[in-house]
A and B are shown apart, each in its own frame.
Chain A
Amino acid sequence: MEPTRVTHERVEQEDLDTRYLAGTLSEEEADAFEEHYFSCDECWSAVQLGLGVRAAETPEKTYPRGAPLQVQRTGVAPSTIAPRRRQWMPVALAAAVAIMAFGLWQWNDNPRMRPADDALRGPTDSIRAVASVRGRALVLSWLATAGADRYGVRLQKRDGTIIVERLTADTSLALSRDSLPAMSESEPVYWEVRALDALRRTIARSRLVPARLPPRRR
């Protein structure tokens, strides 16, 4: 395929959407398709649906989990790193030190680009949030943050899997237990709320707030 000028017809004729998700397009082809789906709602919808089907059909045991290190960073549940992974920690730590040294050198080269630090994600534990259960609804309430335009709220499993993600202008969010995926009531879940300004920058975020699921309707 000629990488430039992707049109909707071309996506259909050359199955670019399915090949994109399968990872079989060349970098130039994928790049051109991405540029196309930024402006084509139909192709964007096909990408979203395809990703959803892939996730839905993936067996539970192989379903990819989130990033447990995120949980560890806030100090709530450091034991979420699987034992097998711990064996690699000394090697990983040494590699991380070397990589960080290289990364710092790179950052000095380009100090404006620091994508993964608190400057973008907001300082942790700067929003006070409280989890509760009302009837069969799981509720998170938090104090308003000055300058916040809206709040991004996540409910996550201990292993980092995001169960639900919502955007709200309120300072509380209630989720009906029956609307949540089937999960054991004994499985701990964690809320996280981030305050976003009008430009969608994270200006503050809560620590991970542990919660227990209320029982489902029998």
Chain B
Amino acid sequence: MPSESELASRFWDRIRIFAARRLQDAAIAEDVAQETLRRVIEAVRAGRVENPDAIAGFVFQTAKHICMHAHRSAGREVRAMQRLDDPDESAERRPTALDHLITEERRVEVRSALEVLSPEDRELLRALYYEQLETTALATRLGLTTGALRVRKHRALQRLAEVLDRARAGETLSSNRELKR
């Protein structure tokens, strides 16, 4: 069975993203993550989850259950307030609660990493995730089969992850040096 800190680090962001999409509120999503982990860890301590392979499913079901209750009380409120707040912002892609979970630091990291990628990789990722083009439409635009496009997407994501990992490792080193001065 994973340790409690492993459980927290593995599932914290997963639950936050999951709850933010459902409830459209980043702060409440954080509350759901807290409450979910509390219940999961208590269940593990009490021996109610014995199979380590079942832990992901148990976390998911617990989070889903908590979200269903939270949806009744908080979600409606939030959406009603958002509609009042932003009556005229329908022209552009509306930011979602998922976007609120991305820190400024992460945004800058990814932007820098994208600049290191080839223009082809960057355009592909931009089209998929920012323009949100369907795979078939993008494949047509690029003159590729959908299969070839999926392979390129997979490789582009892999390269992006590698650049981010390298940057994070280098940044930690330089940050430590800076603080020791």
- Where the two chains meet, the residues of A that have a C-beta atom closer than 8 Å to any C-beta of B are 12, 15, 18-19, 21-24, 30-31, 34-35, 37-39, 44-58, 62-67, 70, 85, 88, 91-92, 95-96, 99-100, 103, 106-107, 110, 112-116, 120-121, 135-137, 157, 161-165, 174-176, 178-182, 198-202
Asked if A201 contacts B26 (CB within 8 A), the reply is no
B49 to chain A, nearest CB (A): 14
- The answer to whether residues A162 and B57 also contact, given A30-B21, A62-B92, A95-B81 and a CB cut-off of 8 A, is no
Answer whether residue B50 sits at the interface, using C-beta atoms and an 8 A cutoff.
no
Partner of A70, one of B27, B73, B93: B27
A40 to chain B, nearest CB (A): 9
- The answer to whether residues A49 and B11 also contact, given A56-B110, A116-B74, A202-B34 and a CB cut-off of 8 A, is no
Asked if B125 contacts A53 (CB within 8 A), the reply is yes
Asked if B27 contacts A199 (CB within 8 A), the reply is no
**B-side contacts of A120, CB under 8 Å:** 31, 34-35
- The answer to whether residues A199 and B105 also contact, given A51-B98, A53-B160, A113-B69 and a CB cut-off of 8 A, is no
A159 to chain B, nearest CB (A): 11
Asked if A110 contacts B69 (CB within 8 A), the reply is yes
Q: Which residue of A lies closest to B87 (CB)?
A: A88
Partner of A44, one of B14, B37, B87, B125: B14
- Give 8 pairs: A residue, B residue, CB < 8 Å, sorted on A: A15-B135, A38-B60, A52-B102, A52-B109, A103-B73, A120-B34, A182-B108, A199-B4
Most chain A beta-carbon neighbours within 10 Å: one of B85, B105, B160: B105
B interface: dominant SS = helix
Query: Roughly how many angstroms separate A106 CA and B68 CA in the complex, as a whole number?
Result: 13
Query: Roughly how many angstroms separate A54 CA and B11 CA in the complex, as a whole number?
Result: 22
User: From residue 1 to 27 of chain B, which have CB atoms closer than 8 A to chain A?
Assistant: 4, 8, 11-14, 17-18, 21, 26-27
Q: Which residue of A lies closest to B13 (CB)?
A: A48
User: From residue 131 to 170 of chain B, which have CB atoms closer than 8 A to chain A?
Assistant: 132, 134-135, 150, 153-154, 157, 160-161, 164
Q: Which residue of B lies closest to A20 (CB)?
A: B21
Asked if A96 contacts B81 (CB within 8 A), the reply is yes
Asked if A198 contacts B179 (CB within 8 A), the reply is no
**A-side contacts of B46, CB under 8 Å:** none
A171 to chain B, nearest CB (A): 16
Asked if B110 contacts A52 (CB within 8 A), the reply is yes
Query: Roughly how many angstroms separate A48 CA and B135 CA in the complex, as a whole number?
Result: 19
- The answer to whether residues A18 and B129 also contact, given A46-B157, A164-B103, A199-B37 and a CB cut-off of 8 A, is yes
Asked if A67 contacts B26 (CB within 8 A), the reply is yes
Query: Roughly how many angstroms separate A115 CA and B105 CA in the complex, as a whole number?
Result: 27
Partner of A99, one of B12, B13, B76, B103: B76
A180 to chain B, nearest CB (A): 7
Query: Roughly how many angstroms separate A160 CA and B181 CA in the complex, as a whole number?
Result: 32
B174 to chain A, nearest CB (A): 8
Asked if A52 contacts B56 (CB within 8 A), the reply is no
- The answer to whether residues A49 and B161 also contact, given A15-B135, A180-B105 and a CB cut-off of 8 A, is yes
A107 to chain B, nearest CB (A): 6
Asked if B56 contacts A57 (CB within 8 A), the reply is no
